[in-house]
């Protein structure tokens, strides 16, 4: 566990399962100490931490629902105490909306998705910025904010407005952060996957097509569904020295897009 991210302190929200799990393992493999955030599934978070430690890395898990500002403040304080100030945050935690049309979506559902995908991450980033700026100004030399968004902010599928709208709001904020924070050596970028083979992806495919992920592999780009590791590799590039003059970008990880616009 040593490499390009030696000395970096990363926080991955929703790092216990799916995309976040792969990102946490990938960043640890490159040498970062990793704070693994989760909401409910403590065992899954503990497993990620154990895997990192078994490989010689540093990791701790932290329970906090993104969107609960008090819990997030406590988590940031605990990470700073345990590992040091975070200089790399991957805002990944999230859940999908319920598939209803705008007409049939209660106002509360829009508010809930905005809280998880936009207001919560904005609050988290605001809490992290002072420490991140200080780290970037000192030995670390840079800070990174990476948002895991979705290609649905451009494909805008029917039945997903609360999710798509909240992701789009956060994308705008990240692009603004990119301009505001570059004087502080902080990069802010967006990774926008299409369908990914996770629990969320499995549910989306089941709801949209009544199928399993394996059933749609052959008709997916490159004959397979995107893996969490595909997304993690893109994150690893964005936070590396190879992306040293890159900020405010949105990388779409969808194999060039589906042949149809189901996702
Ligand atoms: N899968 C796809 O097809 C796909 C496509 C495009 C974009 N994305 C995006 O990729 C990200 C990860 O999705 P995934 O597919 O990996 O989902 P997943 O398999 O359902 O995993 C979700 C993770 O987020 C955590 N989480 C959910 N809500 C949270 C909250 N409010 N606070 C803290 N943690 C929370 C979960 O923790 P607990 O288990 O503890 O609840 C879990 O670790 C999401 O932002 C999603 O919108 C996914």
User: Do residues 60 and 80 touch, judged by C-beta distance below 8 A?
Assistant: no
**Which residues constitute the domain of residue 238?**
9-195+228-248
> What average pLDDT is seen over the chain?
95
Q: Is residue 52 part of a domain?
A: yes
Q: Does position 259 have pLDDT exceeding 90, yes or no?
A: no
Q: Does position 263 have pLDDT exceeding 70, yes or no?
A: no
Higher pLDDT among residues 149 and 207, named by residue:
149
Asked whether 199 lines ligand 1 (CB < 6 A), one says: yes
The answer for residues whose C-beta is within 8 angstroms of residue 161's C-beta and 6 or more apart is 97, 101, 102, 105, 110
Tokens of 200: 């969320």
**How far is ligand 1, taken at its centre, from the CA of residue 256, in Å?**
22
CATH code at position 19: 3.40.50.720
pLDDT at residue number 69 = 95
Q: Whose CA is nearest to atom 6 of ligand 1?
A: 150
Q: Does position 16 have pLDDT exceeding 60, yes or no?
A: yes
pLDDT at residue number 77 = 98
For a ligand 1 pocket test, name from 200, 235, 257 the mutation site with the most ligand atoms within 8 angstroms of its C-beta.
200
Q: Is residue 182 part of a domain?
A: yes
User: Do residues 165 and 217 touch, judged by C-beta distance below 8 A?
Assistant: no
Asked whether 38 lines ligand 1 (CB < 6 A), one says: yes
Q: Does position 262 have pLDDT exceeding 60, yes or no?
A: no
Q: Does position 241 have pLDDT exceeding 60, yes or no?
A: yes
Q: Does position 260 have pLDDT exceeding 80, yes or no?
A: no
User: Do residues 11 and 89 touch, judged by C-beta distance below 8 A?
Assistant: yes
Q: Give the tens place of pLDDT for each residue, 113-162.
A: 999 999 999 999 999 999 999 999 998 899 999 999 999 999 999 999 99
Average pLDDT over residues 181-206: 96
Q: 88: phi > 0 → left, psi -120 to 50 → alpha, else beta; which? A: beta
Average pLDDT over residues 190-205: 96
Q: Is residue 144 part of a domain?
A: yes
Q: Percentage of the chain with pLDDT > 90?
A: 94
Q: Is residue 213 part of a domain?
A: no
Q: Which atom of ligand 1 is nearest to the CA of 39?
A: 40
**How far is ligand 1, taken at its centre, from the CA of residue 152, in Å?**
15
Q: DSSP letters of the chain?
A: --STTTT-EEEETTTTSHHHHHHHHHHHHTT-EEEEEESS-HHHHHHHHHHHHHTT--EEEEE--TT-HHHHHHHHHHHHHHT---SEEEE----------STT--HHHHHHHHIIIIIHHHHHHHHHHHHHHHHHHTTS--EEEEEE--THHHH--TT-HHHHHHHHHHHHHHHHHHHHHGGGTEEEEEEEESSBSSHHHHHHHHHHHS--GGGGSTTSGGGSPBPHHHHHHHHHHHTSGGGTT--S-EEEESTT--SS---
**How far is ligand 1, taken at its centre, from the CA of residue 257, in Å?**
21
Q: Please tell me the least confidently modeled range out of 71-75, 104-108, 205-209.
A: 205-209
Asked whether 61 lines ligand 1 (CB < 6 A), one says: no
Q: Give the tens place of pLDDT for each residue, 218-228.
A: 999 999 999 99
Neighbours of 107 (CB within 10 A): 8
Q: Angle at Cα 144 formed by Cα 249 and Cα 77, nearest 5°?
A: 140
Q: Is residue 159 part of a domain?
A: yes
Among 33, 41, 39, which residue's Cα sits nearest to residue 5?
A: 33
Q: Which atom of ligand 1 is nearest to the CA of 152?
A: 6
Q: Does position 173 have pLDDT exceeding 70, yes or no?
A: yes
Q: Which atom of ligand 1 is nearest to the CA of 66?
A: 32
Q: Which atom of ligand 1 is nearest to the CA of 67?
A: 31
Q: How many domains does the chain have?
A: 1
Q: Is residue 26 part of a domain?
A: yes
Tokens of 196: 């990914």
Q: Is residue 202 part of a domain?
A: no
User: Do residues 144 and 174 touch, judged by C-beta distance below 8 A?
Assistant: no
Catalytic positions, written as ranges:
149-150, 163, 167
pLDDT at residue number 3 = 85
pLDDT at residue number 189 = 98
The answer for residues whose C-beta is within 8 angstroms of residue 242's C-beta and 6 or more apart is none
Q: What residues does 37 pair with on adjacent strands?
A: 62
Q: Is residue 134 part of a domain?
A: yes
Asked whether 200 lines ligand 1 (CB < 6 A), one says: yes
Q: Give the tens place of pLDDT for each residue, 26-81.
A: 999 999 999 999 999 999 999 999 999 999 999 999 999 999 999 999 999 999 99
Average pLDDT over residues 90-108: 95
pLDDT at residue number 261 = 52
């Amino acid at each position: 566990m040593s490499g390009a991210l030696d000395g970096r302190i990363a926080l991955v929200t929703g790092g216990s399962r799916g995309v976040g799990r792969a990102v946490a393992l990938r960043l640890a493999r490159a040498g970062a100490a990793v704070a693994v955030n989760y909401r409910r599934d403590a065992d899954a978070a503990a497993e990620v931490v154990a895997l990192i430690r078994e490989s010689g890395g540093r990791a701790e898990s932290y329970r906090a629902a993104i969107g609960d500002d008090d819990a997030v403040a406590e988590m940031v304080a605990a990470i700073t105490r345990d590992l040091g100030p975070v200089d790399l945050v991957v805002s990944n935690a999230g859940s999908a909306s319920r598939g209803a049309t705008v007409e049939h979506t209660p106002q509360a559902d829009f508010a809930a998705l905005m809280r998880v995908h936009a207001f919560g991450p904005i609050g988290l980033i605001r809490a992290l910025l002072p420490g991140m700026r200080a780290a970037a100004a000192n030995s670390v030399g840079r800070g990174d904010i990476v948002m895991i968004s979705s290609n649905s902010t451009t494909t805008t599928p029917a039945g997903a407005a609360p999710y798509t709208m909240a992701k789009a709001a956060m994308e705008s904020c990240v692009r603004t952060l990119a301009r505001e924070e570059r004087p502080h050596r902080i990069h802010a970028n967006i990774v926008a996957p299409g369908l990914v083979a996770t629990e969320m992806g499995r549910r989306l495919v089941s709801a949209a097509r009544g199928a399993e992920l394996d059933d749609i592999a052959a008709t997916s780009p490159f004959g397979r569904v995107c893996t969490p590791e595909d997304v993690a590799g893109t994150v690893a590039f964005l936070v590396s020295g190879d992306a040293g003059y890159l900020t405010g970008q949105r990388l779409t990880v969808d194999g060039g897009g589906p042949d149809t616009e189901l996702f």
